[in-house]
Amino acid sequence: MERLWAPWRVAYIRNPGRGCFFCAGLKAKDAAKSLILEKTEYAFSLLNRFPYNNGHTMIAPLRHIGSLEELDNEEILAINHLLTRAMRAIRETMKAHGFNIGINQGNIAGAGVVDHIHIHCVPRWQGDTNFMPVLADTKVVSEALQDTYTTIKKGLAALDELL
């Protein structure tokens, strides 16, 4: 059995904060500070502040809802549109070799934010896991969050120029 060790996330687990950080990010005046990459009429994407890997992006509906079954067709389409845009931008700008895409719906499934459904898009590279997480309980993320944010934003802008 393979395991995905993420001990660097313990800061979030021990102190997740109050309220919904998705909704708080949407209300904030500074999208870059909230790490919001894109926002449409129905959904938005943002970088994970406690990433499993560089470029770990989350896509969520604007509405504060807790399950996939509650999404309407417009939200489903918008979320999938933002997911594919994030993947394209990350593949182009960060040269990702692949992605782990997933949803943890409900507390028992491991959802950190139970009441605001979201999709995780985790970029992967050949050999992106080394001895540090296993031996030292430390994940090496090789780029600052703001630098990753800037890189992906440029990639998203480049996608718009192609259309």
Instruction: Give the number of other CB atoms < 10 A from CB of residue 85.
Output: 21
CA distances 134 to 55, 64, 98, 141, Å, are 21, 36, 22, 15
Q: Known binding site: residues? A: 48, 110-114, 120
Give the integer Cα–Cα distance in Å for 23 and 33. 14
pLDDT score for 83: 99
Question: What pTM was estimated for this model as a whole?
Answer: 0.78
Query: In DSSP terms, which residues pair with 104 in a beta bridge?
Result: none
Question: How high is the mean pLDDT of the chain?
Answer: 86
pLDDT score for 139: 64
pLDDT tens readout for residues 66-90: 999 999 999 999 999 999 999 999 9
Answer yes or no: is pLDDT of 5 > 70.
no
**63, 23 in Cβ contact below 8 A?**
no
The CATH classification of domain 7-13+21-158, taken from the options 3.40.1520.20, 3.30.428.10, 3.40.50.2300, 3.40.1000.10: 3.30.428.10
Quick one: tokens of 113? Answer: 């934010």
Answer yes or no: is pLDDT of 119 > 50.
yes
Q: Known binding site for substrate: residues? A: 48, 110-114, 120
Answer yes or no: is pLDDT of 135 > 50.
no
**93, 151 in Cβ contact below 8 A?**
yes
Give the integer Cα–Cα distance in Å for 37 and 73. 22
**132, 3 in Cβ contact below 8 A?**
no
Mean pLDDT for 38-54 is 94
Answer yes or no: is pLDDT of 1 > 50.
no
Catalytic residue IDs = 118
